[in-house]
């Protein structure tokens, strides 16, 4: 039967090595738990739905050159007419923004115009009556905009629209026990009311950062076309025509009016590219965190192997004496496994507390979510198993020490 007390006494004789390995395990656990939690959050973002039918979508960002802001309305109308008539195009819209674009407007939504705090923030998409068909958004209540409800205004002169369409997520926030359909809300700081005439199942905001997580599915569609020197076209191609439209649509726009430029990286993008660019940093952070976790685990395992191998080398005569007194190979193996387990337990207890502390600090500094105890529990089990696996090879070498070692150097 293996006794713990002699193992503890032996560890006290090797305080420096014991403390270093325990602290290494603690630090590894703290970092790995938080890193895996961040990786899970980032990967979760990559699969978030936008609410649109993303296949066959093309986004074109356009900047007018040398054109007065108030003079762009006829140019945009001409562009839309040309795009909608282009062979292979299902529909097209002009909008200030769209899901995952990376920039746009957000405003507070209130029940009462005098309320100091909004019920929720929401992204504002200025669109026309072709928006739902172009985006592929699913209307689950109410109706779409009518063409006679679309107004043209300069961006700086925008005011709240009389009719709006909102997402179900925003409707649920505004009226948790009912529906917002037909209700009056306020989406600017003015006292001008907006009536909810429709609710769409889902639409994502233009941003993918953590700061917008609290309202990531809260969107307001307004029947407004904004004039100005900058705007975006969202085009839905017919099935199988996306590649052709990607090539022909920019040429058509240039032919329609040459007073425009397209940015190099965001000018003409399929929605697959839009999504890839929006989550580029998330993929990078997830990959970096994964590499850090792998390196820390490898270093910790190497440290355990190195220290145990050193102790085995120091204790060969002691092990030989125990073997000569009747200890079996299983006894020697169990001794070193138990010794490492005790160090590991001390390390994971400290590491668990440190992991929670680091997460609480990040919650206050970076608005991160609280660390789930599932990650801490999984990390504790993983580190203990890693330690046992790392010590196994030198422990097996120790168990093969011959009893004759007890007579050497005597």
Identify the pLDDT of residue 407. 60
Residue 176 has pLDDT above 80, yes or no: yes
| Among 136-140, 153-157, 223-227, 276-280, the least confident range | 153-157
331-356 average pLDDT score: 88
Residue 46 has pLDDT above 80, yes or no: yes
Residue 291, both tokens: 């590499």
59-76 average pLDDT score: 86
Residue 2 has pLDDT above 60, yes or no: no
Identify the pLDDT of residue 139. 96
SS3 state at 238: coil
Q: What is the mean pLDDT of the chain?
A: 88
* β-strand partners of 232: 61, 95
Spatial CA neighbour of 111 closest among 171, 198, 157: 171
363-380 average pLDDT score: 84
SS3 state at 333: helix
Identify the pLDDT of residue 236. 97
137-164 average pLDDT score: 91
Give the C-alpha separation, 173 to 303, whole Å. Answer: 52
Residue 3, both tokens: 């006794």
pLDDT in tens, 10-36: 667 777 778 888 899 999 999 999 998
Residue 110, both tokens: 């209130």
Give the C-alpha separation, 132 to 346, whole Å. Answer: 58
What pTM value is reported for the model? Answer: 0.78
Residue 409 has pLDDT above 70, yes or no: no
Identify the pLDDT of residue 184. 94
Give the C-alpha separation, 281 to 210, whole Å. Answer: 12
Q: Which helix or strand (DSSP H or E) is residue 148 part of? A: none
Question: In this predicted model, which residue has the larger pLDDT, 346 or 406?
Answer: 346
Identify the pLDDT of residue 410. 44
Give the C-alpha separation, 95 to 262, whole Å. Answer: 16
174-187 average pLDDT score: 94
Residue 229 has pLDDT above 50, yes or no: yes
Residue 205 has pLDDT above 50, yes or no: yes
Residue 122 has pLDDT above 80, yes or no: yes
pLDDT in tens, 271-317: 999 999 999 988 898 999 999 999 999 999 998 888 888 877 777 77
Residue 339 has pLDDT above 80, yes or no: yes
Residue 144 has pLDDT above 50, yes or no: yes
Question: In this predicted model, which residue has the larger pLDDT, 210 or 175?
Answer: 175
| Among 78-82, 100-104, 228-232, the least confident range | 228-232
Identify the pLDDT of residue 404. 67
Orientation angle between helical segments 280-314 and 329-366, nearest 10 degrees: 150
**CB-CB neighbours of 112 under 10 Å:** 10
Question: In this predicted model, which residue has the larger pLDDT, 280 or 1?
Answer: 280
Identify the pLDDT of residue 405. 61
Q: Predicted confidence band at 394 (pLDDT cuts at 50, 70, 90)?
A: confident
207-217 average pLDDT score: 87
Residue 93 has pLDDT above 90, yes or no: yes
Measured in Å, how far apart are the chain's first and last C-alpha atoms? 29
Spatial CA neighbour of 85 closest among 25, 140, 130: 130
Identify the pLDDT of residue 54. 93
Identify the pLDDT of residue 408. 62
Percent of all residues in the chain with a pLDDT value above 90, rounded to a whole number: 52
DSSP state, 138? P
């Amino acid at each position: 039967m293996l006794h713990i007390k002699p193992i503890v006494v032996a560890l006290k004789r090797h305080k420096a090595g014991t403390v270093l390995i325990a602290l290494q395990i603690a630090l590894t656990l703290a970092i790995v738990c938080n890193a895996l939690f961040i990786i899970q959050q980032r990967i979760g973002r990559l699969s978030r739905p936008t609410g649109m039918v993303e296949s066959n979508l093309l986004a074109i960002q356009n900047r007018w050159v040398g054109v007065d802001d108030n003079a762009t309305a006829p140019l945009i109308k001409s562009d839309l007419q040309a795009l909608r008539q282009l062979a292979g195009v299902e529909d097209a819209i002009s909008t200030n923004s769209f899901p995952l674009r990376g920039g746009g407007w957000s405003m507070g939504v209130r029940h009462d115009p005098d309320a100091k705090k909004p019920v929720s923030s929401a992204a504002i998409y200025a669109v026309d009556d072709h928006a739902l068909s172009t985006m592929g958004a699913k209307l689950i209540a109410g109706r779409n905009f009518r063409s006679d409800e679309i107004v043209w205004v300069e961006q700086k002169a925008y005011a709240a629209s009389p009719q709006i369409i909102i997402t179900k997520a925003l409707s649920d926030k505004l009226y948790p026990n009912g529906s917002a359909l037909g209700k009056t809300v306020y989406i600017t700081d003015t006292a001008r009311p907006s009536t909810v005439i429709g609710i769409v199942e889902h639409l994502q905001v233009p941003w993918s950062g953590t700061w917008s997580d609290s309202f990531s599915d809260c969107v307001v569609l307004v029947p407004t076309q904004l004039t100005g020197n900058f705007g975006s076209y969202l085009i839905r191609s017919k099935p199988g025509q996306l590649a052709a439209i990607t090539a022909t649509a920019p040429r058509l726009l240039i032919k329609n009016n040459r007073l425009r430029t397209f940015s190099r990286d965001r000018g003409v993008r399929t929605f697959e590219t839009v999504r890839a660019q929006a989550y580029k940093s998330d993929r990078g952070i997830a990959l970096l965190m994964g590499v850090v976790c792998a390196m820390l685990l490898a270093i910790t395992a190497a440290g355990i192997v190195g220290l145990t191998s050193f102790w085995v080398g120091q204790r060969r005569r002691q092990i030989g004496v125990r073997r000569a007194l009747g200890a079996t190979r299983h006894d020697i193996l169990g001794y070193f496994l138990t010794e490492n387990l005790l160090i590991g337990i001390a390390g994971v207890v400290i590491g668990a507390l440190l992991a929670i502390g680091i997460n609480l600090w990040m919650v206050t500094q970076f608005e991160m979510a609280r660390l789930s105890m599932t990650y801490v529990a999984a990390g504790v089990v993983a580190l203990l198993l890693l330690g046992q696996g790392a010590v196994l090879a030198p422990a097996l070498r120790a168990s093969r020490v011959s009893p004759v070692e007890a007579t050497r150097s005597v």
